[in-house]
């Protein structure tokens, strides 16, 4: 539930360091929070929403989005499509699973993919930022790999266009797994069991770096959700959402304006936006998408994360500095934009906050309702047993 300590206090602290530039044209005075509904009015509202959302999603109330937003209705996840150059097979999936938990793929012999993407932690790691090679902290929060099969690009800055490319980048990154293709091939070739598994997966015992990435990607495409209570609601069980969660759904789609960026089955537009959290010119500076495109418009932009399982993949944002209640409170005031100091008046790289962000004027009950709905996106806890021992 939303608390003043983790919510509004966060906003007050951030606003003290990153405030709206009165002369920039971005400033919009936050509206006063609307008064909460009486118990009677709230009951009548719930009854109305039960009727509205008993209809198919195509007949739900229109969402509150900007005119140029190509939004998609919330929905269930589609079947996974494996690429033609890396088709799925049970043997390749099983090989990928073994490799996912294999620490010998790292230079230290102590890190595996599962180190930062632990199935017991919703395929994330619960840390602000992950530890990399030799326990050195990395720069960004580790997002969950659940549902990566549906992501159009990977990493917070979108620098990988496929899961295969993402796997290779992590393995070769000196700050992460810190290996070479030759190291990977040697480690796996020395294992009779891995030679057998590669034969079963690819038809011959040849072990290559590309095949290793393909197997890991194949397994990750099978890590798919779609079993939340909201998915049951979409499937026709309209009673599965509580009154508070149903109100939160309506707020999410309308007054809270969440569907400007978080829409479709994945609750993400797959695009990149500046939320005012680049810390431009300060110690925590992260230029985001700009590091990939080198386009000034991309400074401070990060990929929209999926909100599925968001209550179990905290802390949030690219830097892992925030809890859910604090994020909702910040969105309520329109997020923050760094004030442009005089010496940066003509800086062409100075970040510009997304125009999709606007003050909302929601009250504490509204924010609690929103948080309740997001809890309905949580996947049921299911034990994923790693291989009992590394193949020899």
* Band of residue 16 on the pLDDT scale cut at 50, 70, 90: very low
Structure confidence at residue 338 (pLDDT)? 76
**DSSP string over 140-165:** S-----TTGGG-SSBSTT--BSSHHH
d(CA 258, CA 269): 11
Tell me whether the omega of the peptide bond preceding residue 5 falls within 30 degrees of 0, making it cis.
no
Give the Cβ contact number of residue 384 at 10 Å: 13
**DSSP string over 237-276:** -TTSS-HHHHHHHHHHHTTT-GGGTS-TTTT----EEE-S
Total count of residues recorded for the chain? 392
Q: What is the mean pLDDT of residues 129-147?
A: 97
pLDDT tens digits along 65-116: 999 999 999 999 999 999 999 999 999 999 999 999 999 999 999 999 999 9
pLDDT tens digits along 376-386: 999 999 999 88
Structure confidence at residue 391 (pLDDT)? 60
CA dihedral (170, 314, 162, 172) in degrees, to 10, reads: 0
* Band of residue 170 on the pLDDT scale cut at 50, 70, 90: very high
Q: Which domains does the chain have, with CATH numbers?
A: 8-65+228-375 (1.10.760.10), 90-220 (1.10.760.10)
Q: What is the mean pLDDT of residues 142-147?
A: 98
Between 31 and 88, name the one with better pLDDT.
88
Strands 272-274 and 301-303: antiparallel
Structure confidence at residue 22 (pLDDT)? 32
Q: Is the pLDDT of residue 6 over 80?
A: no
Q: What is the b/e burial string over 285-302, where b = at least 16 CB atoms within 10 angstroms of the residue's CB? A: ebbbbbebbeeeebbbbb
- Which residues are registered as beta bridge partners of 33? none
- For residue 303, the surrounding DSSP H or E stretch is strand 301-303
d(CA 190, CA 167): 21
Q: Is the pLDDT of residue 60 over 60?
A: yes
Which whole-number Å values give the CA distances from 92 to 171, 203, 223, in the listed order? 19, 10, 14
Q: What is the mean pLDDT of residues 264-269?
A: 98
pLDDT tens digits along 310-345: 999 999 999 999 999 999 999 999 998 778 889 889
Q: What is the mean pLDDT of residues 201-217?
A: 98
């Amino acid at each position: 539930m939303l608390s003043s300590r983790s919510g509004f206090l966060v906003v007050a602290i951030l606003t003290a360091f990153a405030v709206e530039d009165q002369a920039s044209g971005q400033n919009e005075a936050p509206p006063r929070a609307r008064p909460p509904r009486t118990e009677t009015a709230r009951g009548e509202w719930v009854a109305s929403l039960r009727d509205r959302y008993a209809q198919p999603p195509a007949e739900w109330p229109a969402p509150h989005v900007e005119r140029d937003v190509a939004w998609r209705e919330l929905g269930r996840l589609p079947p996974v499509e494996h690429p033609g150059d890396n088709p799925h097979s049970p043997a390749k999936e099983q090989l990928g699973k073994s490799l996912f938990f294999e620490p010998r793929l790292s230079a230290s012999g102590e890190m595996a993919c599962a180190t930062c993407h632990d199935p017991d932690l919703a395929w994330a790691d619960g840390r602000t930022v992950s530890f990399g090679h030799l326990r050195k902290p990395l720069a960004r929060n580790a997002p969950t790999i659940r549902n990566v099969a549906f992501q159009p690009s990977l990493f917070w800055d979108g620098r990988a266009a496929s899961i295969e490319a993402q796997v290779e980048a992590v393995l070769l990154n000196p700050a992460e797994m810190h290996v070479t293709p030759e190291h990977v091939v040697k480690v796996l070739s020395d294992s009779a069991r891995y030679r057998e598994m590669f034969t079963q997966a690819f038809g011959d015992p040849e072990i290559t770096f590309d095949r290793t990435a393909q197997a890991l990607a194949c397994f990750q495409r099978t890590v798919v959700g779609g079993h939340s209570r909201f998915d049951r609601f979409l499937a026709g069980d309209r009673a599965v959402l509580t009154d508070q969660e149903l109100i939160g759904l309506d707020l999410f789609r309308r007054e809270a304006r969440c569907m400007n960026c978080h829409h479709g089955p994945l609750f993400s537009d797959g695009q990149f936006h500046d939320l005012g959290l680049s810390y431009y010119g300060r110690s925590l500076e992260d230029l985001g998408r700009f590091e990939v495109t080198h386009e000034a418009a991309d400074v401070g932009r990060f990929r929209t994360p999926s909100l599925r399982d968001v209550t179990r993949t905290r802390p949030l944002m690219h830097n892992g500095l925030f809890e859910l209640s604090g994020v909702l409170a910040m969105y309520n005031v329109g997020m923050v934009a760094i004030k442009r100091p005089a010496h940066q008046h003509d800086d062409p790289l100075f970040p510009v906050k997304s125009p999709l962000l606007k003050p909302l004027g929601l009250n504490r009950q509204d924010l609690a309702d929103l948080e309740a709905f997001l809890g309905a996106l949580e996947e049921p806890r299911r034990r994923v047993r790693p291989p009992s021992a590394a193949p020899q």
